[in-house]
Amino acid sequence: MIVPVRCFTCGKVLADKYYEFKKRVEAGEDPAKVLDDLGVERYCCRRTLLSHVELIDQVMVYRVY
């Protein structure tokens, strides 16, 4: 739901790379090349960034005051 701070498998910090990755992929770049440029080499970290879905906006509708 929120940006993954660390890889769920190995614990490497990924939060600092997520928004750059998202911006470049939405601009039309190849996700594999973007991950290579950002230095994300482990397949567990690549999976974490590739499979993340932003759901926080949908969940915020149901927040309790």
Tens-level pLDDT at each residue, the chain (65 residues):
578 899 999 999 999 999 999 999 999 999 999 999 999 999 999 999 999 888 887 888 887 77
Q: Where are the domains of the chain?
A: 17-61
**Cβ–Cβ < 8 Å for 17, 49:** yes
Taking the alpha carbons of 6, 12, 15, 17 in that order, is the dihedral positive or negative?
A: negative
Which long-range contacts does 13-17 make (Cβ < 8 Å, 24+ apart)?
Answer: 14/40, 14/45, 14/48, 14/49, 17/49
Domain 17-61 = CATH 1.20.272.10: no
**pLDDT computed for residue 40 by the predictor:** 95
pLDDT of amino acid 4? 86
Is 45 part of any known ligand binding site? yes
Is 44 a known ligand-binding residue?
yes
Q: What is the predicted pLDDT for the residue at 3?
A: 81
